[in-house]
A and B are shown apart, each in its own frame.
Chain A
């Protein structure tokens, strides 16, 4: 890169914020002569165009009134956000930084020494990253794979009992006839049916996961057993999350967890034991770290899913919230989100029905007002003007000093002026 190219690169950076006439001439003259800078210029301009596209297509998933109403509630109820910000940007003491660095260095050296001194039980599979049949009978669509054959990705494998597979840095053994699929890219076994015992080599420090229709187990160096509804850990520690990614439990060695408990919300409350006896592989459960997901967490997840337009995940999360013994206001919020989900899915009538249920069931909560207004607005947007008029009028009658009074009145007046 020449000096001229360097100067021009700075001009390219400033192009969007405005160049003087002289700078523009310098830039154009250089671009005409230098192919590399011309390419940079085109690329930068196109990337800016893409970013503009992203900005212009950014829309709020929830109506702005809802967002503001929720923000006002959070601003007055949550722990102060500002202190968090101040903390995040507070200058760190150089002594604290030096101490932190020394601690990190000591941990890294200690970890390396420990790993060096330990025998790697699955060294071959881990080091060579092989995914192959080690023992037993494994078949795909009736075709049996030979011992040592590579396990194909994303294929439904029928694995006979007492078979063994080396999958990346883990060994997977089956106790019974099992149906599973293997994804090399994310080191994930999708367990459709049956049960597996998994032994993961911690050496590669890479994640390994087993996914069932109900939950997902993430692991780093451990031995555990998974069937369709439960997990038990023999060594190490695993994290279990539900189908929408919310962490529901962390299990240490000797602990067992049942999916039905958490998903049917019969699980013990936060911080209590979830011990299931009678399994010979499982030692006496240690003091537990199992934790059930709260209604508030599920609702937050649902809001996030709705914001990204993922209606089915949002509905699943709302369902979890409704099964997590929600408080009255959380029930109202869940029902409101069901209305939002229906609206995003393009079903205005269902959406209106959900909103109106919030209005009738939770009349004494502030959310009822928003719900009635939202119902009216959905009908108006759907072009059901008569129904919208009726709902806006109901809103004005129920909340003569409501926060959406001006908009409701505006709609009613506009409609009145349209009539001959």
Chain B
């Protein structure tokens, strides 16, 4: 029987047939990596729970059509990316992101933190604010390839785009992000030295 990668006790067939136990085990095994992926794509915006849940809902419904051509993890990533693309286009989200840029609005900012950690959080927020300015179709492949280190062909498959188009989008996203980051006061120090964490 065909087994799921990383989840040796779970069979694809059982998941396709909608067996609750198999699906439960599959998603339980995949949730950490899915959460990490979504967290990396959206940043500290607080949408991670909702996006992960929407991805799981879509995946449960789509499992009967899963052909097994890609690994289940990549298949799940492509669902997450589709959900994310839709969410990033929503104007409410754009407004909410803009609102989060106001210093001191996020709950985390109200907690006393060491200076270094606070700087780092501010930089993370600025990074994602700059990424929010990019179109989702450029931002997502850029993060997946340049930050996450996924090969271009995999990113193209996840994005359902050609390799040439994906490379071009990554190129323009990088140029635009670096240009914005150069002008950003919060991110200025990142030019100077490697960040030590």
Contacts of A418 in B (CB 8 A): none
Instruction: Decide if B128 touches A54 in the complex (CB within 8 Å).
Output: yes
Interface residues on B, range: 35 or more
Within 8 A of A (CB), among B37-63: 37-40, 43-50, 52-54, 56-58, 60-62
Question: Is B7's beta carbon under 8 Å from chain A?
Answer: no
Contacts of A52 in B (CB 8 A): 40, 147
Within 8 A of B (CB), among A319-333: none
Question: Is B76's beta carbon under 8 Å from chain A?
Answer: no
Contacts of A40 in B (CB 8 A): 178
| Nearest-neighbor residue (CB-CB) of B150 within chain A | A17
**Most chain B CB neighbours (cut-off 10 Å) among A18, A39, A70, A72:** A72
**Most chain A CB neighbours (cut-off 10 Å) among B27, B143, B146, B150:** B146
Instruction: Decide if A60 touches B49 in the complex (CB within 8 Å).
Output: yes
How far in angstroms is the closest Cβ of chain A from B36? 5
Instruction: Decide if B145 touches A13 in the complex (CB within 8 Å).
Output: yes
Q: Count of A residues near B, CB < 8 Å?
A: 56
Please measure, in the bound complex, the distance between the C-alpha atom of A44 and the C-alpha atom of B88, giving whole angstroms: 23
Hey, which bits of chain A sit against chain B, CB under 8 A? 9-10, 12-14, 16-18, 39-40, 42-62, 64, 67-68, 70-72, 74-75, 78, 80-82, 84-85, 88-89, 303-304, 306-311, 403
Instruction: Decide if A46 touches B39 in the complex (CB within 8 Å).
Output: no
Please measure, in the bound complex, the distance between the C-alpha atom of A42 and the C-alpha atom of B187, giving whole angstroms: 12
Question: Is B185's beta carbon under 8 Å from chain A?
Answer: no
Instruction: Decide if A54 touches B190 in the complex (CB within 8 Å).
Output: no
| B-side interface mostly | helix
Instruction: Decide if A42 touches B193 in the complex (CB within 8 Å).
Output: yes
Report, nearest first, the 3 A-B pairs whose CB atoms are least far apart: A58-B39, A308-B46, A16-B149
Instruction: Decide if B58 touches A309 in the complex (CB within 8 Å).
Output: no
How far in angstroms is the closest Cβ of chain B from A56? 7
Pick the residue among A39, A54, A60 that contacts B191 (CB under 8 A).
Answer: A39
**Contact mask B162-177 → A, CB, 8 Å, 1/0?**
0000000011001001
Please measure, in the bound complex, the distance between the C-alpha atom of A82 and the C-alpha atom of B58, giving whole angstroms: 6
How far in angstroms is the closest Cβ of chain A from B164? 13
Please measure, in the bound complex, the distance between the C-alpha atom of A56 and the C-alpha atom of B37, giving whole angstroms: 9
Given known contacts A40-B178, A60-B49, A67-B53, what 14 new A-B pairs fall within 8 Å (CB)?
A: A12-B146, A17-B150, A42-B192, A43-B178, A43-B182, A47-B187, A50-B195, A54-B40, A54-B44, A55-B36, A57-B44, A58-B38, A68-B24, A81-B57
Please measure, in the bound complex, the distance between the C-alpha atom of A53 and the C-alpha atom of B43, giving whole angstroms: 9
Contacts of B86 in A (CB 8 A): 84-85, 88
5 A-B residue pairs with Cβ-Cβ distance under 8 Å, sorted by A, are: A56-B39, A57-B44, A60-B31, A61-B49, A75-B57
How far in angstroms is the closest Cβ of chain A from B17? 14
Instruction: Decide if B60 touches A71 in the complex (CB within 8 Å).
Output: yes
Instruction: Decide if A47 touches B177 in the complex (CB within 8 Å).
Output: yes
Pick the residue among B53, B83, B191 that contacts A74 (CB under 8 A).
Answer: B53
Instruction: Decide if A55 touches B123 in the complex (CB within 8 Å).
Output: no
How far in angstroms is the closest Cβ of chain B from A367? 16
Question: Is B124's beta carbon under 8 Å from chain A?
Answer: yes
Instruction: Decide if A53 touches B124 in the complex (CB within 8 Å).
Output: yes
| Nearest-neighbor residue (CB-CB) of B46 within chain A | A308
**Most chain B CB neighbours (cut-off 10 Å) among A49, A70, A306:** A49
Instruction: Decide if B174 touches A308 in the complex (CB within 8 Å).
Output: no
